[in-house]
């Protein structure tokens, strides 16, 4: 199955779209996985060096996680959430806290896995149809728990 990727972003919100191929050091089963990360920080005008380092660290953890794709996604999301919590621990008021919305995609064999945290939305175009992947129950600030969609 082939995937075409188009990214649309609000002009008001800075975001980073990053794609990662499997590195040399990886867990069995992650060899051909393609990881796509769309991160929209709420309180940063642009991604900081801290955030870029954290993303690289958690991408590495994703590829080193053996087992299911959803397990590796949870390792990525939980690690990134912990990073935000640790960074915010040093900030005085909730108004200064760093937050972000995340849309994460993994292409594994012929399946696209999507996960979301926070106020994010993904449009999946398939067989001439457009499906919106968005959970109304997700709190806009996120809580670190990804919601999944699998498309064969």
- Give the domains, in start order, of the chain with CATH numbers: 16-151 (3.60.40.10)
Flag whether pLDDT at 80 surpasses 50. yes
CA–CA distances in Å: residue 46 to residues 49, 84, 115, 124 = 10, 16, 23, 27
pLDDT at 77 (0 to 100) = 92
Which range is most confident: 60-74, 82-96, 104-118? 60-74
**Residue in the structure block whose two tokens are 């498309």:** 151
**pLDDT on residue 144:** 47
Name, in order, each residue with C-beta under 8 angstroms of 56's C-beta and a sequence gap of 6 or more.
Answer: none
Judge whether 125 and 132 are in contact, CB under 8 Å. no
Using the structure block, give the residue that is written with the tokens 């959803």. Answer: 70
Residue 1 has pLDDT above 60, yes or no: no
Share of the chain above pLDDT 90, in %: 19
Digit-coded pLDDT (tens) for 29-43 = 898 899 989 888 776
Tell me the Cα Rg of the chain: 15
Judged on CB neighbours under 10 Å (0-12, 13-18, 19+), 40 is buried
């Amino acid at each position: 199955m082939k995937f075409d990727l188009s990214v649309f972003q609000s002009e008001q919100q800075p975001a980073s779209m990053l794609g990662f191929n499997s590195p040399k050091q990886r867990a069995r089963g992650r060899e051909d996985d393609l990881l796509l990360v769309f991160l929209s920080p709420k309180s940063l005008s642009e991604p900081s060096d801290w955030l870029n380092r954290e993303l690289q660290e958690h991408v590495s953890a994703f590829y080193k996680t053996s087992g299911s794709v959803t397990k590796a996604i949870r390792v990525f999301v939980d690690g990134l959430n912990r990073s935000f919590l640790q960074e915010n621990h040093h900030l005085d008021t909730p108004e200064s806290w760093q937050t972000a919305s995340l849309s994460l995609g993994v292409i594994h064999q012929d399946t696209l896995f999507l996960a979301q945290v926070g106020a994010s939305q993904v449009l999946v175009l398939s067989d001439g149809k457009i499906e919106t992947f968005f959970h109304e129950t997700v709190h806009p600030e996120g809580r670190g728990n990804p919601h999944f969609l699998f498309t064969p």
